[in-house]
Structure 1
Amino acid sequence: MQILTREQARTRSQAFIVDTIDVTVDVRQAEDLTRGTYPVTSVIRGHLNSTTLFIDVVGKVSVVLVNDHPHHFEVEDDRVVLDHLEPGELSVSVEAECRYSRTGEGLHRYRDPEDGRTYLYTQFEPNDAHRAWPCIDQPDVKARWQFTVLAPQGWVVANNGERESLREIDGGMEHIFARTRPLSAYISAIIAGEWAVVDAGTWTGCDDFADVSIPLRIMCRRSLAGALDADDIEAVTRHGFTFFHEHYRFAYPWGKYDQVFVPEYNLGAMENPGLITFNENYLSRGTLTVSQKQKRANTILHEMCHMWFGDLVTPRWWDDLWLKESFAENQGTSAIAAGPYPDEWANFAVGRQAWAYEQDQLPTTHPIAATIPDVAAAKTHFDGITYAKGAAVLKQLVAWVGEDAFDRGAREYFRAHAYGSATLTDLLAALEQATGESLEEWKRAWLETSGPSVLSATYSVGANGAINNFTLRQVPTDEARTIRPHQLDVSTWALKGGVLERSACFHVRLTAESALIDPDGVLSYAGAVDDVALIVINDGNLTYAISRLNALSTDTALEYLSTCPDAVTRAVVWASLFASMRDGLLDPRRLASSCITSAVSEPVPAIRDRLLAMAHETICQFCSGEDRSQLRAHALTLSLETMVRNMELDELTAWRRFAVSMFTGATGDLGVAAMRSLAEDTDLDIAWKARCALAARGLMTPEELAAFGASDSSGHAHRELTRASAALPSVESRERAWERLLGEELSNEELSATLDGLNASVAYTPEDTRRVIDHLEDYWNSHSIGLGIRYVRGALNVSVDVQDNDSVALIIGGLEHWLDSCHDAPAQLRRLVLEKYDALTRAARVQEKFS
């Protein structure tokens, strides 16, 4: 395939001003899985300022008409090249046969193994619309689209626009949809199939938006209808529309609002205007924990924000991807915190922002305002910097200029660029107009540099125990040694009867390498040193910076942080402790033990679940040899003991999942009886997790797995059976999994499940990863980028153990050799491998220091 570059896109958008695109898609034969393609015709109209043009399409092109007359064309990979055109008004019709996808890119087709029904949905970002239909596939070309879909009788079909007409035709039904307002190709969309549909009524505006009425629908596969949880999804949706209308003062512009939960999805969700698609893993036939519902709510509101940031105003090119993703991350979090989950910013601090710190310390880190030369580079920039760091930096901007000014800037941005595309310069102009101050230095310090700032506090103690010279210090980590402006809070905490109490809080504006925290001498009283058992830098999480705790604060936090009454404070400190562990400044054994113990009493489900995830990562990645085994056994023992206590189902589910994760790599009889019991549980989600864990340790036979699969024919069971079968430790089972992996056309989820199973098995050895490394480039070059990314990330999702020489030599040494010898490999593949190499070498350094 050709890779569209930024310069090619710029040249084309100047040469061809697109007005409308009409697409006719014929999926009447979609239920016949022997037919791998479907016919599609696109008619693209606009004004041409050139004599040449190329149209994007992945498929077999049969006819091209220019202004209703046949025209000679050349096919160059995924482009139809037209020469000898006349400048002026132009109509280009392209007829093609395009392929149904199994990779989650383009028009994806899924056959439900439970009831045999067929489902179709599209997924395009950043550049896969032309896999589904001929188009101009770049973000700054925003056409008014009209879709006609020919589908089987009884199918539900939806598009970005409202359906205008429905009539019976030979072999099915013709669905014609209203022409949309201008939108980019990557957010044009259809879904088709026998979807279960819940009519969620209409959201009606108030005040200035009393005349706004938005029809709401929620959909999923029919076999999942019982798990749809429509009431909760509807409530979150209604809250979101109220929140965004109050803040943006710009009426939702896309008419209806369909939300569809789809199978085998590569992402969490996609913001197709009027037809938002979500990963159906947000639904469960088992028990969804509170934190899982909270994550789903965040995703719903993240995508809703995109209806304005991204859909109404679209980044001109993928350089400004952050213009939509950072804003949606920030604003979605603000929206959910203002509604059903007021602790969402705490969840962000310990989860998403911690992810940003990790991404920002990789050798592949980049500025928020990144340089994206082509769409292949864009594929790997949907990362912790573009999403979470950008959101955290926007929160810092709000702390500087105020929320009202920020909202006024957003409104001006929408007003000035509605239905068009924009750049960073356009956004800053709107924000500067709203705030009345220049943001040029802020842009330079925050958006054009990389790496996190590191903040620490120092003080001296007077003879009477007074705190003097209480100072906040900033250490830059980027090559330019950038000193960033920070507006943040620093708090001190006293330990009273084994409970933490806030003793003081200071608002600090840091614009240099250091600033006094306590210029007024609030802590200069005698004995104040007894009230600073814990110093929390960035309390409230207003800025983006790794904070370092001093030795006393570290000891206090590890022992008593669970007694702190403020959820955001706890989250900020946990993120700080985790960063210190990753940087080799804190013994991972101490952190893991504290996380597990604190999780038992943590009242906020999202923080509790994050603590358990931190404990799992710390034990499995940053501890080695006997330490890893002992901590795993300790964690499993504590989780098994906790599971038998009287607790809410939500808490029980979290501890059950943690127990399964710890059991997978354990040895001996500990937990075997509990896992066998869970394998028979009526909660099929936890039951399959337990079955996979037992299979990975050779404690479940292929026949037992087959019996479980026969009793549960759901899509979820099919995926988990694939995972468990690949995890079986017998030579025959592993070779069969490898043959499927490298020799069969697996779907995206089958690929991931197979890799997960192979790596989880007790039979896994570092030699398996060396085998993967040998196939990296071949696999990448013979599959789509989406599958390539899944393969690399899944296949290299392993840990090292510095006490195992083969582990270091074959995994770290193998990756190092690949990087040294494969300089000509695709840049995106090298980036993924380099990131994993860096993560493993970081873990090895920590293991060596504390072994």
Structure 2
Amino acid sequence: AYRQDQLPSTHPIAADNYDLQAVEVNFDGITYAKGASTLKQLVAWVGIEEFLSGLRDYFKAHEFANSEFSDLLAALEKASGRELTTWAQEWLQTSGVNTLAPDFEVGDDGAFTRFAVAQTAAEEFPTIRRHRIGIGLYDLVDGALTRRTSLEIDVQGGSTDVPKLVGVAQPDLLLLNDGDLTYAKIRLDERSLATAVASIDKVDDSLARALLWGATWDMTRDAEMAATDFVELVLRGIASETDTTAIGRLPGYVQTAISYYSDPSGRAALRARWENGLRGLLEEAEAGSDHQLAFVRAYAAAARSDEALDLVAGLLGGSTTLPGLTVDTDLRWTLLTSLARGGRADQARIDEELTRDKTISGQEHAALALTVRPTAEAKAQAWRDAIERDDVANETQRQIAYAFPVPDQADLLAPYLEKYLEVAATIWEEKGTQRASTALEYMFPMPLVSAEVVARIGQWLDESDANPAAKRYVREGLADMTRALAAQERDSQG
């Protein structure tokens, strides 16, 4: 939701779905994830007891009858005393995400002399909302980052003073939105960021860790934190992370940070640092644990060196084993795809694997593995299968499209920039919503990111009369490219 809400195609939760095409493209992370987060914020804004009381009154008043959203708001207003009509307009009928940041001064005694929460919004979507948030103060005590105290406040306007924190000693880590009550990006002050980078593995609260992962990833995407620092943060903290969702997702964030947000001149060294760091994590992981499996998958995705590819080949072939690791069918495809991307598995080897897994899923995995091979022929075949042919199953097409733009295969992908733009002009009418949206979203030439490519795509958008739905996906890709260039510049500064 956060990513989609910062794209040019963002829309309100209560979007104006004026036709079927709008419905097809607008039911997304904003509708679902932001919608759910806004409901959670509503509960925090009115209070849980007041929320439940209002619900009881609402259901009683409208039992066996129809009602409107305004009826629910009226019941909650009566129970809580909070005005909700304009609150609902702020949250449901506007686009964009707010950013909350601490704004304070500290005296010679180490205590806050002034404290406020600053709220900003994107220039294109300038709505400043009302938020109910927690503010957590965490200190390093006996080797653990533990919450000293937490307080809840209402944030309203561009700056909200917090007099209760004046005179309070500055903590090692100050966390806005403690408890994850609202939908907003949060920023860490300099001391808190340094603490997070050095000690995220010592945060004893899983939700606080999740907020820190999210805050640092947002700061990396927004060019406020170097991609190199984010990679180091993940290497330091992922081994002690207990949330399986975070363990699975963080390596993907790192791959994006390395491939697109890092300084190109230092990218090879950073990629090697990640690969070697994962090798160490893999060797230290508990046998048979979720961490071990996640690190094997991440290592396969990161493998570029001969040493790494040798290990991947050994795990697939059985000459190398790890205690507790079961190399099942799904993991075999992950390992084989890694080898295919590294030029170690040709079509014959992939076909051989397919004879072991004669399922629809096996066919999809094989299509992906064939696509990532580092040859011009592989890219040409993938393009034909995903763009030109009509007899490729939708999910197979999705796998091919997803695998097509391999980050370190820019030379092979260079000819496809103009082909992509040419196809984008007509694919919506020729292939329909499903196949067109899959191709345009996943096959956007992100590995070609440069100022020149940004200018070319911007020119196409200005001049093209393509279907607005098709242009939406191109515009989203361009926004991602522009963001990547800013992040690369930040990473180059160290």
How high is the TM-score relative to the length of structure 2? 0.89
| Correspondence list, 1:679-690, <5 A | 679-680=316-317, 682-690=327-335
Counterpart residue type for residue 252 of structure 2: A
Q: 2:307 aligned with 1:670, yes or no?
A: yes
In structure 1, runs of 5+ residues without a counterpart are: 1-355, 803-807
Structure 2 SS opposite 1:639: helix
TM-superposed deviation, 1:518? 4.0
> Where in structure 2 are the equivalents of 1:66-105 lying within 5 Å?
none
Cα distance 1:416–1:386, how it changes in 2: closer, same or farther (>3 A)? farther
Q: Distance in 2 between matches of 1:419 and 1:838?
A: 48
**2:37 aligns to what?**
392
The Cα shift of 1:756 comes to 3.2
One-letter amino acid of the counterpart of residue 87, structure 2 = W
Aligned to 2:438: 790
Query: Taking structure 1 as reference, are residues 420 and 671 closer, same or farther at Cα in structure 2, changes over 3 Å only?
Result: farther
Instruction: Go from structure 1 to structure 2 and tell me whether the alpha carbon gap of 1:422 and 1:706 turns closer, same or farther (over 3 Å shift).
Output: farther
User: Which among 391, 408, 412 is matched to residue 764 of structure 1?
Assistant: 412
Q: Which amino acid aligns with 1:790?
A: T
Q: Give the C-alpha shift of residue 565 in structure 1.
A: 0.8
- What SS is found at the alignment partner of 1:519? helix
Counterpart of 2:27 in structure 1 is 382
Whether the 8 Å contact between 2:111 and 2:166 is mirrored in structure 1 is no
- Return closer, same or farther for 1:511/1:737 CA change in 2, 3 Å cut-off: closer
Q: Secondary structure at the match of 2:405?
A: helix
1:451 maps to amino acid: G
Out of 468, 480, 485, the residue aligned to residue 827 of structure 1 is 468
Change beyond 3 A, Cα 1:677–1:422: farther
Pair 1:659-2:299 in alignment: yes
Partner Cα distance (2:421, 2:390) in 1: 19
Greater Cα radius of gyration, structure 1 or 2: 1
Q: Structure 1 671/449 Cα, relative in aligned 2: closer, same or farther at 3 Å?
A: same
Query: Partners in 2 of 1:467 and 1:654 — Cα distance?
Result: 42
**CA-to-aligned-CA distance 1:326-376 (integer Å, 9 cap, x gap):** xxxxxxxxxxxxxxxxxxxxxxxxxxxxxx222222222222222222110
> What secondary structure sits across from 1:774 in the alignment?
helix
CA distance in 2, matches of 1:652, 1:387: 32
SS of the equivalent of 1:759 reads: coil
SS of corresponding position for 1:463: coil
Cα deviations by residue, 1:704-756 (Å, 9 ceiling, x for unpaired):
11111112202211111111122333444433333333134211112112223
Residues in 2 aligned to 1:479 and 1:791: alpha-carbon distance in whole angstroms? 28
| 8 Å contact kept, 2:368–2:400 | yes
Match of 1:618 among 257, 263, 273: 257
Q: Give the deviation of 1:498 after TM superposition.
A: 4.7
Q: Does 1:584 align with 2:223?
A: yes
Judging changes above 3 Å, is the alpha-carbon distance between structure 1 residues 460 and 641 closer, same or farther for their aligned structure 2 residues?
closer
Q: Aligned partner of 1:845: which letter?
A: A
Which of 818, 822, 826 does residue 460 from structure 2 map onto? 818
How far 1:535 sits from its partner (Å)?
A: 0.9
- Specify the alignment match of 1:751 in structure 2: 397
The equivalent position to 1:553 in structure 2, one of 163, 182, 192, is 192
Indicate how the Cα distance of structure 1 residues 690 and 520 shifts in structure 2: closer, same or farther if over 3 A, else same.
closer
Shift in alpha-carbon separation, 1:608–1:743, aligned structure 2, 3 A: closer
Deviation at 1:684, TM superposition (A): 1.1
- Partners of 2:165 and 2:191 in 1: how far apart? 24
Q: Does residue 402 of structure 1 match 2:47?
A: yes
**Residue identity opposite 1:379 in structure 2:** E
Change in 2 beyond 3 A, CA 1:429/1:374: farther
Cα 1:462–1:756 change in 2 (3 A) is closer
Greater share of residues in strand: 1
User: Whose helix fraction is larger, Structure 1's or Structure 2's?
Assistant: 2
How far, CA to CA, are the matches of 1:392 and 1:650 in structure 2? 28
Instruction: Letter of the 2:462 partner, please give it.
Output: D
Residue number in structure 2 paired with 1:697: 342
Following superposition of structure 1 onto structure 2, how do residues 337-486 of structure 1 map, counting pairs within 5 Å? 356-407=1-52, 409-410=54-55, 424-432=69-77, 435=80, 437-477=82-122, 481-486=126-131
Residue identity over aligned pairs, in percent, reads 29
2:46 and 2:82 map into 1 onto residues whose CA distance is 9
Contact 2:413 2:448 in 1 (8 A): no
User: RCO (CA 8 Å, sep 6+): is it higher in 1 or 2?
Assistant: 2
Distance 1:619 1:422 in 2: 51
Aligned pair 1:542/2:172, yes or no?
no
CA distance in 2, matches of 1:705, 1:411: 59
Task: Give unpaired runs (5+ residues) of structure 2.
Answer: 319-326
- Structure 1 pair 730–764 and aligned structure 2 pair: CA distance change class (3 A): closer
The count of residues paired between Structure 1 and Structure 2 equals 480
RMSD: 2.6
1:686 aligns to what SS in structure 2? helix
Q: Distance in 2 between matches of 1:706 and 1:481?
A: 53
Deviates more, 1:732-741 or 1:466-475: 732-741
How far has the Cα of 1:421 moved from its partner?
A: 8.0
